[in-house]
Each structure stands twice: as C-alpha cells, then as structure tokens.
Amino acid sequence: MKKGYIFLLLVIGVLVGTFSASKLAKIYRERPPLESVRYVPKPSLLKAVALEYRLLLADFFWMKVTLIYGEPNFRKKATPEDWNYIEKTIQVVTELDPYFFIPYYFAGIVLPMEADRVDDANKILMRGMKYLKKEWRIPFLIGFNYYYYKHEDLDAAKYLEIASKLPGSPEYLPQLASRLRYQAGDIRHAIAFLMTMYNNTDNLELKKSLAMRIKALQDIYYLTQAVEIFKKRFNRPPRSFEELVEAHIIKTIPRDPYGGKYYYDSKDGRVKTTSNFRPVTKNGKK
C-alpha cells in the first residue's frame, strides 16, 4: 500500500512536470536573460522516493537538460548558473540511471567545449567508466579532454589505451596513444578526435556544436600551412592573411564559424581566432 501511494505521488509529479515542460520552451523564449529554476534535488533523496521508478525520473530530468540546451542562442546567453544547473542535473540523471550512456557523452563533450568545465566533465565520465565498462567512447572522451584542454599527454595516452582495448574502438587509437606518450599532439589529431565524436552521436545540437569546432580547427590548420609556405618563400611571416591571398597561396580567407576573425600571433607563431571558439554576437561580444 505504501509503495502504491508513493508511486501515485510520483506519477502525479511527473505528469505535472511533463505538462509544465510543454510550456517551458515558451517561457525560456520570452525571458530576457537565461534564467531557470536553480534547485536540483539530491540524487539520494530522489532514489529513496522513486524506488523502482528511477529510470522514469532519469528520463524526466534528462528531458529538462535537452530542453534548456536546445533553446535558441543558448550558447551566447548561458551564464555560469545555467551551466551549474545543467551539470548538476546530469549528475542526477547518471545517479538515477548509471547505465544511461547519452548523458555521459553529452557531458564529456559539451561541458569542456562550451563551459570550460573539463574536470567536472571528467568526473562524470569516470562514473560512466564504472558502470559502462565496455563502452570505448567514455575513456576516449576522457583521453581527449586531457589531450586537448589540459595538455596532459600521458594521462591522455592512458585513457586512449583503455579505450583501444574495448569492443568497437577505432583501429588508430593504439598508434595515437603511443604517439602521445612521447610528443605533444597537434591540430590534425584534435580534428581526428572531434570527427570521431561527431560520427558517434545522433544528437543534432551536439553535432552542430562539434561541426563548428571542427570547421574552425580545419581553417586554422589550413592557414597554418599557408603561413609556413609564405615564410619559406619570403623569409618572414605574413603581416596579414590578405598577403597570403595576394601571393596566391590561398584563394580566400576562411570565415570563422563562431563569428570572429583569424589572425597570426607573431608572439608565439600560431594562427588564432578572435572568437576563441565562442559564438560572437553582432556587436562583437562573446
């Protein structure tokens, strides 16, 4: 009787939440800044109440994450509080349903790439490794985060080696792991990592975000090669990328998909972008 009463309350709560969720999109569109209900229940409390209906609650909270993340212009307007809410809600989802792969994959890509939360992402992914022991994409993401964001090649190699031993992993992972063990990676490998992520997700918003990062890195790699050709030909770096066009090394200057402009930093000899891989609004602000 007690279980039936609790289940009835749970169903009512979920139905109310679902009914409210149908109106959330309109609320989010009409609000001036990004604001949301910040309270996230403790996973321990939810598990105690949900009993055998944890998966139902996990789906409900995951729906809230995808609804907020899918809001138009979220990336431009998101505040640290928005990202806190998303991160904590993902933690709730993975506590309620630790075998639910998609939230791990989402957190492993989005939190570092768009919120600069590498350690938080890896913490969530570590939990995924505990429950999804045969899923190569989880240690792969940890390895990428160490390689690309933290520049810790040995740790990156460690997790790529773990991923390479799991079913379905790409054949190139062992070679890449060994390479990272003795030298730093480069832009080409970053692109290869991101392409693997892109090809292994069906989330359209995530694909869009990854495609932008891949395009920007491909542009930077393209311009870097062009700069090296210019240096060899003229014994100096270009003053601007227009010189690359004038010298017929490139036909046109690529457009940064984030809305910034590519430039050559003479201090460290690298091609960079003013957007720093963040969407830029019309007034130039990120």
Are 154 and 181 in contact by the 8 Å Cβ rule? The answer is: yes
Picking from 54, 56, 44, the residue whose alpha carbon sits closest to that of residue 18 is 56
Residue 123 lies in a domain: no
Let me know if residue 10 belongs to a domain.
yes
Q: Is residue 245 part of a domain?
A: yes
Assess if residue 189 is contained within a domain. Answer: no
Choose the final residue of a domain: 97, 130, 162: 97
User: Which domain range does residue 267 map to?
Assistant: 211-273
Q: SS3 letters for 156-185?
A: HHHHHHHHHCCCCCCCCHHHHHHHHCCCCC
d(CA 140, CA 156): 9
Determine, yes or no, domain membership for 43.
yes
Would you give per-residue pLDDT tens digits along the chain (286 residues)? 455 444 444 444 544 444 444 444 554 455 444 444 567 878 777 877 777 888 998 999 999 999 888 888 787 788 899 999 999 999 999 999 999 999 999 999 999 999 999 999 999 999 999 999 999 999 999 999 998 899 898 898 899 989 988 999 887 777 677 667 645 546 777 788 788 878 888 888 888 888 998 999 899 999 999 999 999 999 999 999 999 999 999 999 999 999 999 999 988 888 999 998 888 866 555 5
Would 21 be classed as within a structural domain? yes
Structure tokens at 231: 């240096």
273: enclosing H helix or E strand:
strand 270-273
Tell me how far apart the alpha carbons of residues 100 and 90 are, in angstroms, rounded to a whole number: 11
**Domain contains 12:** yes
Residue 263: which H helix or E strand, with range?
A: strand 262-265
CA distance 141 to 206: 14
73, 97, 121: which is the final residue of a domain? 97
Q: Maximum CA pair distance of the chain?
A: 84
Which residues, including other chains, have CB under 8 Å from residue 89's CB and lie 6 or more apart? Answer: 40, 61, 64, 65
The tally of domains found in the chain comes to 2
Query: Across-strand partners of 264?
Result: 271
Domain boundary (45, 72, 97) is at 97
